Structure 1
């Protein structure tokens, strides 16, 4: 931003300096009125042409910067989107893995409870036969 302001300030300073210098040189030069007016007119035309060229350069530079910024913003958005998609995929995959692990543990606990239940019933039957 500071560079753009500096460039704009320099551009305006150069234009103003060119105009002031041209007019001053013409006013102090020993010439006839008609010749002086013609020189002033010619100087104003040259300043106008220089101003148009400078404005075109500024416009071209601004367009180029805008395109660069747009391209960089698009690249950043694509990178962020890819990172978010990778994170979502990773979380989903981990969720499936955890669900599988919970299912396996649940099966193991269920099997162990069934085995213990059978042991308890067998022990209870033995106790009944002993009594």
Structure 2
């Protein structure tokens, strides 16, 4: 898969963090090209002692500019390197869209660069 030509991009901001013994819940929001404003909650569960890689599950709500609301479950994996991480996941949006999504997360800056690739034929 060519990850240099996304079908859309966006930038979301980390708006909240909740930590428990098994993982971390992150909340995000921001604009996504072709969709609108995204509101996202993800639970990251590490699979190694260094907490440098693991699984993610979450939910997204998208508020389109016309007021339409869409929803999607999110499932994927992450790899953390210091204060940044790469996250890859798939979504299945309630409007029929399916995407492969790549996130570049900057934990210190609380910014996420989003790229998505349509899986619809």
TM-score category by the smaller chain?
under 0.3
Q: Larger RCO: Structure 1 or Structure 2 (Cα < 8 Å, ≥ 6 residues apart)?
A: 2
Structure with a larger share of its residues in helix = 1
Q: Give the alignment's TM-score, normalised by structure 2.
A: 0.15
Q: Give the alignment's TM-score, normalised by structure 1.
A: 0.14
The structure with the largest alpha-carbon Rg is 1
